[in-house]
Amino acid sequence: MSKGLAIMTSGGDAAGMNPAIKVAAEYAASRGFKPWLVYDGLRGLIDDRFVEPDREMLSGILHRGGTLLRSSREKRFFDIGFRRQALENLKKRGIEKLIVIGGDGSFRALNQFYADFGIPFAGIPATIDNDIAGTDYCLGVDTALNMIRQSIDSIHDTATSFSRAFVVEVMGRHCGYLAMVSALSCGAEICLTPEVPYNLDSIGLRLQREIDAGRNHILAIAAEGTKMADYLTRWINDSIGMEARLTVLGHVQRGGSPTVRDRLMAYKFAVAAVDSLEAGETNSVMVFNEGHYSTRPIHEVCDSQYQIDPRIIELSTPLAQ
């Protein structure tokens, strides 16, 4: 009898999850596993929401954003009694291994599950914030950046047409990666993030010099974690004297058809996850660093502090001064 392997998504949705689901299920089957899909993340483990995937279910999902399996944040999983209930749901189907596509919170939950009952798992990093320690890339980042770029390019057209300033708030509660990369790639004049100290006085002097030299519009990017987007809009209007508007992109950043990069990364991460479980690894996260794919033990990932590439910080720092 084939050993069961369950695939689930957990935490915030990210483009690239569906390609990872498809590839993981199909590749696992080719390696002799019996794949199962779990709906609704950790909640589905507890509430017995398992399904055997067929060709029809997996076909046509590569181009879809979000996650076919849906997701949840389930507080009941912190209770050993509910984790034991999840274990029974696995055991009655012969499921001996898990693949979780999500962030470090999901990895921590599955690592506790492994500590309790010895069920091995492999983690595939997926979060648009790109803030998982130990990997340079997480699924969904490239698609999110392209959604942001498309929106900012459209806003830029309006800014130049009406000689206005626009402040765009992007996601990133604790990490300014999206804001930094978007600011650099879209030619913003201001970028405020949690990682880089900002000085509005020096920003104002710099912008005033540029306005005196002929600048007729301003584009500013603020990470939501700074909580500065609304204030920055009013500051530009009052201190710089340029009419300013605020655009909060919100959850549009999570959507969209996965880019080629996210589809390819999903393929490689999913294959690596199945291979790691087949090789006997028990609680590893798939990582990508400087062009190379490998695995890292969960404790190295969760016990480390994520750091944005210093080169990106260096390039974006002048936009905060």
Q: Which domains does the chain show, CATH number per domain?
A: 4-140+258-305 (3.40.50.450), 142-255 (3.40.50.460)
Catalytic positions, please? 129
Q: What are the residues whose beta carbons fall under 8 Å from the beta carbon of 118, sequence distance 6 or more?
A: 282
pTM attached to this predicted model:
0.95
Rounded CA gap, 63 and 113, in Å? 32
Q: What is the pLDDT of residues 123-175, one digit of tens each?
A: 999 999 999 999 999 999 999 999 999 999 999 998 888 889 999 999 998 99
* Residue 313 banded pLDDT, cuts 50, 70, 90: very high
DSSP letters spanning 163-194 = T-EEEEEE--SS--HHHHHHHHHHT-SEEE-S
For residue 206, give the H/E element and its range.
helix 200-212
How many helices (DSSP H) and strands (DSSP E) are in the chain? Answer: 12, 11
Q: What is the pLDDT of residues 250-308, one digit of tens each?
A: 999 999 999 999 999 999 999 999 999 999 999 999 999 989 999 999 989 988 889 99
- At residue 61, the 3 state secondary structure works out as coil
* Mean pLDDT estimate for the chain: 96
Q: What is the pLDDT of residues 211-264, one digit of tens each?
A: 999 999 999 999 999 999 999 999 999 999 999 999 999 999 999 999 999 999
* Residue 1 banded pLDDT, cuts 50, 70, 90: low
Over range 46-57, report the average pLDDT.
Answer: 96
At residue 67, φ and ψ (nearest 5 deg) are -140, 125
Tell me the residue type at 69: L
